[in-house]
Structure 1
Amino acid sequence: MRLSTKGRYAVTAMMDLALHDGKGPVTLADISRCQGISLSYLEQLFAKLRRQGLVKGVRGPGGGYRLARSADAISVADIILAVDERVDSTLCEGREDCQDGERCLTHELWNSLSKQIFDYLDGITLAAFLSRPSVQAVIERQNGGGEGKGEHRMHVV
């Protein structure tokens, strides 16, 4: 599977938005600071996410980004595809020309793995992932220590 930093960062940023859904827009600067992702990189990712209808921008004071759909209607696969990532374990990117222009011996194996990975990621919504006890524990730990006071502190990696 070829999942680059682009896909991982897009999922992380969208998780951050989902965590703050209903609390107002989140600025890319907040996401950048809290998630350790460069602001210019986030701007590129959010242009793609906006074009695919996953986020919407809010202008003006207090503006930023919010989810364009509910967190239970956005899968991890939706996010990865929106930023032009592929969930593909084959060497030929699914073209079946892996060995001298023909299908290789193990193409079916890697193609099946790709489908299973995609189906897994497509079955996980932002809301479902955020509701996992292990994720809630990380959020609680990162927001703990009495420093919450409305600060945007959640780190998802």
Structure 2
Amino acid sequence: MIFTTKAEYGVRLMVRLGELPGDEPVSLKTVAETERLPLAYLERIVALLRKAELVTSTRGAHGGYRLARPASEIRMDEVIIALEGAVAPMSCFVDDREGERDPDRVLCSHLDDSGSGCATKLLWTRVQGGVFRALQQTTLAELVSFQSPGDADHDRTGPAPVLSVRPPAATV
């Protein structure tokens, strides 16, 4: 499953907003320069985050954006769904019907589905569930503290594991 740059940049924006002390808004231009992100793209992203009520804005010379709630109350599934829509490992899982959206329901859009799903539905359901649980269990506050140098959690978690795939040994 590959998330788009919309999710990547949106999460980076949220982390930057979560790092701010106090309740002072920050301009998107400042975030764009600090994070080296395109301002026009950030403007579209922040509109989605505002619509989802994850950030608020203030107009004027000292205006800008800030989190709508404390970082500890913002789960990453909310952020990703606001930016990406459905979280799905395969395109056949995307529920694009209007009005009936249920985030807990897995849709198999194959025409010959007959209500039972294709042979790989179990695998993709588990993949989707694992990713979604990881997003639900991660708060913005965790990402902000992970970002901070010298954080004990950062040292404890260590580097991300590197996965390698080796072909099975040949039998003679």
Other structure's SS at 2:62 match: coil
- Residue from 128, 137, 156 that aligns with 1:114: 128
Any unmatched runs of 5+ in structure 1?
A: 140-157
Any unmatched runs of 5+ in structure 2?
A: 94-105, 152-172
Tell whether 2:53 aligns with 1:39: no
Other structure's SS at 1:57 match: strand
Superimposed CA distance per residue, residues 45-95 of structure 1 (whole angstroms, 9 cap, x where no aligned partner) = 111111111000011122100001110111111111112333211341242
- Residue from 83, 104, 107 that aligns with 1:95: 107
Return structure 1 stretches of 4+ with deviation > 6 angstroms.
none
- Residue from 149, 152, 165 that aligns with 1:137: 149
Structure 1 residue identity aligned to 2:129 = K
Other structure's SS at 1:131 match: helix
**Percent of matched pairs sharing the same residue:** 33
Structure 1 Cα separation of the partners of residues 33 and 150 of structure 2: 17
Task: Please tell me whether the aligned partners of residues 97 and 104 of structure 1 are also in contact (alpha carbons under 8 angstroms).
Answer: no
Task: Please tell me whether the aligned partners of residues 21 and 67 of structure 1 are also in contact (alpha carbons under 8 angstroms).
Answer: no
Tell whether 2:76 aligns with 1:62: no
Deviation at 1:21, TM superposition (A): 4.4
Map of 2:29 onto structure 1: 29
Cα pair distance change 1:91/1:48, threshold 3 Å: closer
Task: Count how many residue pairs are aligned between Structure 1 and Structure 2.
Answer: 136
Q: Which segment is superposed worse, 122-131 or 48-57?
A: 122-131
Ranked by relative contact order (alpha carbons within 8 Å, sequence separation 6 or more), the top structure is: 1
Q: Which segment is superposed worse, 18-27 or 59-68?
A: 18-27
Task: Please tell me whether the aligned partners of residues 4 and 85 of structure 1 are also in contact (alpha carbons under 8 angstroms).
Answer: no
CA RMSD of aligned residues (A): 1.9
TM-score (norm. length: structure 1): 0.78
